[in-house]
Amino acid sequence: MDLKYELYIGAKPEDVWNAFISPEGTKAIFFGCVLNSTFEVGAPYEYIGPGEDGLETVHVYGKILEFEPNKLMSYTEHPGPSYRSNHAELETRITLTLDSMGDCTKFTLVNDGWPENHPSYESTKTHWPMILSNFKTYVETGKTLNFGW
């Protein structure tokens, strides 16, 4: 049930990292959301952005498990309260690793720890490739993909 994705991005690890955690990068990659956290191990984080009603909402949240700038970030993830009433029970883990390879960066994302019958598993499985394609495009070109939404 683990979800694992590997991409090769034509950029230095520092640029890839910055795109994944900076407000400008997360707004582009995560459809208008910003990542709020101090990034200290044990600290909370939230992806906050426009909801379906146009109001600001928490899309996902959790806590930082590991954080090594330009190399590794691991965190728990819960769907936001507006998505699932039992959001606190629905925890998974996401681990990002960056490895320098010549003039590019190998970016690996593992989304694991899925509880049995997690109601967001199938949609997450569909959305990660879209998000990561958008991410790669953004890092390499400064532009995002238009998914027609």
What confidence category does residue 46 fall into, taking pLDDT thresholds of 50, 70 and 90? very high
Q: Which two tokens stand for residue 25?
A: 């990068």
Q: Is 44 among the domain residues?
A: yes
Structure confidence at residue 76 (pLDDT): 97
- Residue 87 belongs to a domain: yes
Provide the token pair at 110: 């593992």
Query: Which CATH number characterizes residue 20's domain?
Result: 3.30.530.20
Kindly state the percentage of the chain with pLDDT values over 90: 83
Question: In sequence order, what are the beta bridge partners of 108?
Answer: 6, 97
Tell me the per-residue pLDDT of 12-37, one tens digit each, with 9 for 90 and over.
999 999 999 999 999 998 888 999 99
The amino acid present at 15, given as its one-letter code, is D
**Domain with 89 in it:** 3-141
Whether the per-residue pLDDT at 149 is higher than 80: the answer is no
Structural domain contains residue 147:
no
The DSSP-derived string for the chain is --EEEEEEESS-HHHHHHHHHSHHHHHHHTTT-EEEE---TT-EEEEEEE-TTSSEEEEEEEEEEEEETTTEEEEEEEE-TTT-TTGGG--EEEEEEEEEETTEEEEEEEEE-PPTT-TTHHHHHHHHHHHHHHHHHHHHHS-------
How far from chain centre, in Å, is Cα 75? 10
Amino acid at the residue 95:
T
**Cα separation values, 87 from 73, 79, 83, 143, Å:** 22, 6, 7, 33
110 falls within a domain: yes
Residue 149 lies in a domain: no
- Per-residue pLDDT of 95-120, as tens digits, reads 999 999 999 999 999 999 999 989 99
Residue 148 falls within a domain, yes or no?
A: no
pLDDT at 32: 86
* Segment among 38-42, 51-55, 58-62, 81-85 with least mean pLDDT: 51-55
Q: What is the mean pLDDT of residues 44-52?
A: 91
Q: Would residue 37 count as lying in a domain?
A: yes
Residue 65 lies in a domain: yes
Question: Which residues have a Cβ under 8 Å from the Cβ of 28 and sit 6 or more positions away?
Answer: 19, 134, 138, 144
Q: How confident is the model at residue 53 (pLDDT cuts 50, 70, 90)?
A: confident
Output the pLDDT for position 58: 94
Please tell me the pTM assigned to this model: 0.91
* Count of domains observed in the chain: 1
User: Is the predicted pLDDT of residue 38 greater than 90, yes or no?
Assistant: yes
